[in-house]
A and B are shown apart, each in its own frame.
Chain A
Amino acid sequence: MTSPNKNISFDLNQFQKIEDIIYLDEPILTHLIKNNKHFLLYLVDTLDNKDTFLLLELEEQTIFDYLTKLITLRQIISSNQNFIYRIEQDFNGNIINADITQNSALPENYLPTEDSYLNYEPSSQSYYYNFIEEFESQTYLRSLREQAFYIKLAPTNSKYSDTIGFNQLVSELLKNISSSFKSFLKADFFETFKEKQTDEKKLNASFNRLSDDLDYRMVDLDFGSFEIGLAVDKVMKQSIENKEIRDWAIDVGYKYINIVLDDDYDEETVSTIISNYSQEDRKKIFEPIFKITKNSNYDFKIKYSKNKEYAKINIKDKSKIERIIPKIEIHEEVQSKEYEIIQVTTIKEKDKVRKSIKLDENTLFESSNAKQVILKKKDFAKYDYILNFDVEIPLDISTEKGQIVLRTEFEGIEFKKTLDSGKFDEGIKQIISSIYEYILSKSE
């Protein structure tokens, strides 16, 4: 295989063959090694009596990048800065010509397509097996990192250099961001799918099933001033069967970055926010974020990829904050509770005068000895007293000399029962019974 007649004496037998990377009835692309240097031998043309190859030296890592679809074969050849050998070989394997060229002089006919990626799947006997196995195990994290965005929380005071307090970070700053993100996910899900699924319970159930998959993945971390890289996980979201929900689940992570972690809150962003989310949702989403941006002790910054510059999330026009977060109060629904009496035994020091004992907050009296509950239609139904109208009757419960006192007024009439503390249920039943009898007698 030596060149018999030209200036260059070339012997491909001096190279050790690692593997045919592309084989199509004959070797098309072969990995060779010589003196610990790596080469690719690429068959680019076959004429009547000869094959033409390109031989180029490159780093082994470049070959690995090619085998894992990070770069194309065309890029490898076009960007190679070494001299490239153009070798002509006859069909018996003799080299009949060899000359030196470089990437810029190669004719288009010698090049593969722009899209010349290769997804190599090595068997266990392949030279590349271990490398590609290891690479694929890291691919998930790497792919997340490539499209991660970064947030940074930095103290404005230099007292502790640029370090940030742990408790403040966890219990205030990160908690606020997390709370805002969770509120956004829910609000946007309901806004997007409320027309398609009008049953709120089913919509809630769908959202709860999704919630684990919606979370950002933490893919990078730096300390001092606190920096964290977060990524939308597209891979795991592929398990969401409904395409429409899957598309939303992928998009919503980016939407949060664009809408809530916007670095300047321009007029367009503010208008989008106000038109797309209810006042109540906006309060839940944006208030935690504005608490951070308004805190003069910290700078809250964002950058949209690792290599970009950080920009401070800054809302200069305070009127925008007032437009986004209206002054409303969120009323929590008062749920009726059921109570039961328990007996408490405690010990006190003989000589100490102690007038109170501490009870668990879930017990009836908490730290007081009086409580008011509301008797409703369902409380009557519990004892088979069926009312055909709704009632809300405040019932005062208190203790007096070891006894329990139940007292209420209904339509100006007082109803009162005093019982031993162990007979609480009986007392409730008696007072409901008395009220029911009054109602019946009135209707007759």
Chain B
Amino acid sequence: MKLKFQESIEKIKDCPANNELGDKRLFRCVENEVNEKSFVPQAVLLKPKYQDKCIAWGLSVFNSFDSANQMLKNLSKNKRVNYSKIAQGMIDDSHGIKYGGSNKKHYRFFPSEEFNVVENFEIVDRNDKSK
């Protein structure tokens, strides 16, 4: 499976480091709406200091609405400006590679080149989290 940013990712040894198989509902903090831009690893593209870090090429996603929301509350007011909404999507093995980190609530998601974020993610609020 070819991943988005495959060329940069394959330069890093053993990247992605893992792959957890199976369907999983995951939550992503986005600025305002679901679009391609909100599913681009902006930090690594903007900041060369992260380019040789494997996980920087993956997208930060969370295993629940509450985990994502809790993370937002821990951002400084300035950093929170870029994240006002939470989107959810059901990710299967054809959508890309995903695996959990040191904090089991945080996942890295490396979308496949074909993955269409607009079709697969939607904005949710607290009341929709059980969808």
Contact = CB atoms under 8 A, between A and B. Distances in A.
A207 B128 CA distance: 37
Contacts of B44: 25-26
Interface stretch (B6-14, B52-60, B90-98, B119-127): B52-60
Given A24-B71, A26-B43, A126 B76 contact: no
B48 A45 contact: no
Given A92-B49, A111-B77, A122 B103 contact: yes
Nearest to B57: A25
**Interface size for chain A: under 10, 10 to 19, 20 to 34, or 35 or more residues?**
35 or more
Contacts of A91: 46-49
A25 B79 contact: no
Contacts of B83: 24
A123 B103 contact: yes
Contacts of A125: 102
Interface in B75-131: 75-79, 83, 100-106
A112 B70 contact: no
Contacts of A43: 76, 79
Interface string A366-400: 00000000000000000000000000000000000
A108 B70 CA distance: 19
B42 A118 contact: no
Given A23-B55, A117-B70, A123 B75 contact: no
Given A24-B29, A25-B42, A26-B43, A121 B103 contact: yes
Contacts of A419: none
A122 B76 contact: no
B58 to A, nearest CB: 9
A28 B49 contact: no
A21 interface: yes
A199 interface: no
B75 A28 contact: yes
Contacts of B43: 25-26
A297 interface: no
A23 B101 contact: yes
Nearest to A66: B74
B41 A46 contact: no
Contacts of A126: 102-103
Contacts of B50: 26
Given A26-B56, A120-B103, A109 B46 contact: no
A39 to B, nearest CB: 17
B104 A29 contact: no
A22 to B, nearest CB: 6
A116 B48 CA distance: 30
**Interface size for chain B: under 10, 10 to 19, 20 to 34, or 35 or more residues?**
20 to 34
A338 interface: no
Contacts of B46: 91
Nearest to B58: A25
Contacts of A19: 102
B51 to A, nearest CB: 10
A123 B63 CA distance: 14
Q: Pick the most buried of B47, B48, B56: most chain A CB atoms within 10 A of its CB.
A: B47
A112 B103 contact: no
Contacts of B60: 23-25
B59 A25 contact: yes
Contacts of A25: 41-44, 56, 59-60
A112 B100 contact: no
A438 interface: no
A121 B74 contact: no
Contacts of A93: 48-49
Interface in B18-66: 29, 41-44, 46-50, 55-56, 59-60
A120 B117 CA distance: 28
A28 B75 CA distance: 8
A113 interface: yes
Given A26-B43, A116-B74, A121-B103, A45 B56 contact: no
Contacts of A29: 74
A21 B42 CA distance: 20
A45 B102 contact: no
Contacts of B47: 26, 51, 91-92
Given A111-B77, A117-B70, A122-B103, 6 more contacts: A19-B102, A25-B56, A42-B76, A116-B73, A126-B102, A128-B102
Interface of A: 19-26, 28-29, 42-46, 51, 73, 89, 91-93, 108-113, 115-123, 125-128
24 contacts: A21-B103, A22-B74, A22-B75, A25-B43, A25-B56, A43-B76, A45-B78, A46-B78, A91-B47, A92-B47, A92-B49, A109-B77, A112-B74, A112-B75, A112-B76, A113-B73, A113-B74, A115-B73, A116-B74, A117-B73, A119-B70, A120-B103, A123-B101, A128-B102
Interface of B: 29, 41-44, 46-50, 55-56, 59-60, 67, 70-71, 73-79, 83, 100-106
